[in-house]
Amino acid sequence: MIYCSNCAAPILKLWQGWPLQLPVPLLPQVKDGKCEVCGSQGAVVSNTAIQWLNYHGPYNTGLPDYWLLVTEQKTVWGLPYHSESECPRCGSRAVLSEHGDSRSGRFEYKLGCTTCYAEESKRKQEAIQRQHELEAMHRRKRQDYYQSLSAIPFADRLSKIAEDKSIDPYRNWQEWNGWKAEWSRCSDEEIAALCAETTQGLIDLCEGNSVLRSLGVLQRLYDRRHELRLAAIAEIRSKYSAMNSQAQLTELVTAMMMPISHFPIELADAVTDDWLETIPEIPKAHFLRQLGTCKLRVWIRARKKLSYFVSPNNTLQGTLRDESAQRP
């Protein structure tokens, strides 16, 4: 095959890629002594004169940076323009390229159609563009969702974030990390509106969720719990001031309305085995269950005085140990 040297030279100079992956460009052929493009009758270049050249940069010590098409030197890597035929897919002109090593005699061949390659590249780019658009739309939707979370009341917001497993502390933290300040925002009025049960529930929620822990709201919840506890203790002391410690304790335990953490701490000294025998079974079980999980030191010391928490054969103590083991 004979090509027009004037037309082929700039085309070959622009090509760089990898053999059998990027098709070599089509070159204007010389027919009846004339170039089919420029009409020149001058210099020509044969297909066997066009060679692969593996280009290595100045700091390259391994595989080639890329390959070139040259006519001024002889190499051992085969013929880029081995022959030409029609593309079986689109019927366009296509080049059969040869690549390998003439020293071993091993070569691979591939028919390269620039028309099909361009169409395939276009389809790939369109698919990539569609994927980028879908990802961008997904990111916008996620950001809108994160923004909607910041508009939810504080207590409901924490519950919603804890329930949403897609807010992952490791996998996609870059998406929601910028919303931490908004999610942790809460007014003094919202904190003041929290009751003891809700406050403790939010504390348990935050302590068990790494995303919520990172918001930095736990200290405000701890402060609110302490404030409610002090207020409850003051109210109890005022209400039962005429009663002795054991009578106050009996009244609170049998009512089963107040968490043990809100009991005045001086009542812990009234907890004894003899006093416990005077409490009906249902309030007793309720009290012992609270006592078994309370983390306040004064009530931990009271717990250690009771035989219920010493005997390994006690049914209730076994139940409390099971519940403690199941608690995360």
**How far apart (Å, rounded) are the C-alpha atoms in residues 46 and 82?**
10
Q: What is the pTM of this model?
A: 0.60
Does the pLDDT of residue 318 top 50, yes or no? no
Placement of tokens 């070569």 in the chain:
107
**How far apart (Å, rounded) are the C-alpha atoms in residues 126 and 122?**
6
Task: Give me the mean pLDDT over the 194-215 stretch.
Answer: 92
Q: How many CB atoms lie within 10 A of CB 15?
A: 15
Asked if 215 contacts 184 with a C-beta cutoff of 8 angstroms, the reply is yes
More confident residue, 43 or 320: 43
Does the pLDDT of residue 62 top 90, yes or no? no
pLDDT in tens, 236-285: 999 999 999 999 999 999 999 989 999 999 999 999 999 999 999 999 99
The two beta strands, 30-31 and 34-35, are: antiparallel
Task: Give me the mean pLDDT over the 129-156 stretch.
Answer: 94
Does the pLDDT of residue 206 top 60, yes or no? yes
